[in-house]
């Protein structure tokens, strides 16, 4: 079974006191003590980001590790990735991340892992990377379309409710045919794909949503995805 859990935002890095999405990811593993590997490439392996991951995941029933391409400790990248139950990709600069992945062959290793049942997850850069295209935001520059790994069809726009420029930029890009139709996801919401088909949408906060956005007769049409709040 192939699984991808793509978060618009949230998880340990954005909601350190609310790990509902992180717990949801772990619950998908048929293992009482799953191996979770954090991949912080998009942040340049920022030390603080890695430390926050370990701080959060040490409170959860799992075995945590991280994969660095800046200070690598593995001997065989593909084997290391295949040993994991979950690959959790952090946020940051998506373009730089994908360049480094391809240089190291991590993109190919992740595809093999995905096809062998390793769960792929992540937020922001770690969400859009799994789709054909993503809407990315370089610092102090306009949003633009980025070609990604293509494990999932269509496009992805994270932080849909969290950044003012996201929604209008995504709408305009779809209207102009610059980016494919796809999923817009609020912070705190995760889309769970099984075998490339959307299986569930879950949230760590009430009143947050995901949408399928497309162009119909030269107008934007948003279809709300039924999203289940994980809290009580």
Residues known to be catalytic: 124, 159
Determine how β-strand 86-89 pairs with β-strand 182-185. Answer: unpaired
Using DSSP's 3-state secondary structure scheme, residue 170 falls into helix
Burial of 190 (0-12, 13-18, 19+ CB in 10 A): buried
Using DSSP's 3-state secondary structure scheme, residue 75 falls into coil
Contact 70, 47 (CB under 8 A): no
Q: How far apart are alpha carbons 88 and 118 in whole angstroms?
A: 10
């Amino acid at each position: 079974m192939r699984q991808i859990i793509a978060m618009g935002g949230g998880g340990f890095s954005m909601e350190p006191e609310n790990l509902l999405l992180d717990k949801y990811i772990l619950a998908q593993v048929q293992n009482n003590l799953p191996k979770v590997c954090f991949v912080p490439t998009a942040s340049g392996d920022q030390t603080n980001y890695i430390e926050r991951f370990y701080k959060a995941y040490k409170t959860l029933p799992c075995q945590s590790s991280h994969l660095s391409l800046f200070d690598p400790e593995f001997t065989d990248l593909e084997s290391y990735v295949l040993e994991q139950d979950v690959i959790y990709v952090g946020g940051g600069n998506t373009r730089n991340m994908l360049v480094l992945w391809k240089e190291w062959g991590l993109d190919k290793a992740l595809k093999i892992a995905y096809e062998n049942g390793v769960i792929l997850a992540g937020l922001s850069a770690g969400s859009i990377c799994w789709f054909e295209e993503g809407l990315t935001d370089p610092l102090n520059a306009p949003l633009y379309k980025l070609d990604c790994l293509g494990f999932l069809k269509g496009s992805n726009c994270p932080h849909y409710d969290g950044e003012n420029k996201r929604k209008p930029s995504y709408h305009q890009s779809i209207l102009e045919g610059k980016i494919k139709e796809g999923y817009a996801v609020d912070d705190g919401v995760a889309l769970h794909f099984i075998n490339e088909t959307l299986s569930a949408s879950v949230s760590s906060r009430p009143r947050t949503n995901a949408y399928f956005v497309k162009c119909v007769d030269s107008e934007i049409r948003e279809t709300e995805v039924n999203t289940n709040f994980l809290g009580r």
